[in-house]
Amino acid sequence: NAGVTQTPKFQVLKTGQSMTLQCAQDMNHNSMYWYRQDPGMGLRLIYYSASEGTTDKGEVPNGYNVSRLNKREFSLRLESAAPSQTSVYFCASSEIWGTDAFFGQGTRLTVV
Amino acid sequence: GEDVEQSLFLSVREGDSSVINCTYTDSSSTYLYWYKQEPGAGLQLLTYIFSNMDMKQDQRLTVLLNKKDKHLSLRIADTQTGDSAIYFCAALGEGSQGNLIFGKGTKLSVKP
């Protein structure tokens, strides 16, 4: 029973490099989310996908793109990484009515 | 939009009760949640309460909801050192997309 799986767990990038964070869920949930967590800021929503084929911006979408590849997978792409994107990134999934959200273990990203 | 506020720190002695408080702004929030995050780990759902309930109890955890004042609290009875973590309050935001709005988190420190 894997739940929500994120890869990689850790990553160090140089400024300007690109990378894709992967997320997969095995609970057949419609909705998936990407959050970032910064000290003293709590979790902030980057993008979400209410269903397969749809994506919407959250609170802090600048510098990111997303792809809802299928119902299971939701990826987050940084096209040109910046030090301000150093953060811990969490993927989550839930039923559309949001009775709860299950979180992955997070990806700790450092941009130098 | 929804805003969720929490105090940032709480320190208690082992065996005492802990009470973590949260306020939210959107009176139409349907579900309210408490998550626990241990150092270096993802978020773990502790409990949630539906907005038509006043109280929910689950073993050592008691959630109280004052809908009139938009105030939510989490009481942990007989607090143990293993309860030391950051606790996040979250509310289901507008639009029923299952998007959770998080507070900044309360760091609970339990002293032996």
The model's pLDDT over B27-45, given as tens digits with 9 standing for 90+, comes to 788 889 999 999 888 888 8
Average pLDDT of the segment spanning A10-32: 95
Share of chain B above pLDDT 90, in %: 69
Contact B48 A45 (CB under 8 A): no
Å between A16 CA and nearest CA of chain B: 27
Contact residues on chain B for A104, CB-CB shorter than 8 A: 42
Query: What's the rounded Cα separation, in Å, for the pair B112 and B98?
Result: 39
Reading the block at residue A91, the tokens are 């993927």
Is the confidence at residue A4, as pLDDT, over 90? yes
- The predicted structure's pLDDT at residue B51: 85
Query: What's the rounded Cα separation, in Å, for the pair A51 and A94?
Result: 10
**Interfacial residues of A (vs B; Cβ cutoff 8 Å):** 30-31, 33, 35, 40-45, 48, 50, 56, 58, 90, 92, 94-106
The model's pLDDT over B63-112, given as tens digits with 9 standing for 90+, comes to 999 999 999 999 999 999 999 999 999 988 666 566 788 999 999 999 99
Give SS3 for A84. Answer: helix
Is the confidence at residue A1, as pLDDT, over 70? no
Rg, Å, chain B Cα set? 13
Å between A17 CA and nearest CA of chain B: 25
Contact A34, A87 (CB under 8 A): no
Is the confidence at residue A36, as pLDDT, over 90? yes
Q: Report residue A39's pLDDT band, with 50, 70 and 90 as the boundaries.
A: confident
Contact A104 B103 (CB under 8 A): no
- The predicted structure's pLDDT at residue A88: 96
- The predicted structure's pLDDT at residue B99: 73
Is the confidence at residue B15, as pLDDT, over 90? yes
Listed residue (A49, A93, A86, A87) closest to A67, CA to CA: A49
Query: What's the rounded Cα separation, in Å, for the pair A90 and B45?
Result: 14
Chain A and chain B share a number of CB contacts under 8 A equal to: 69
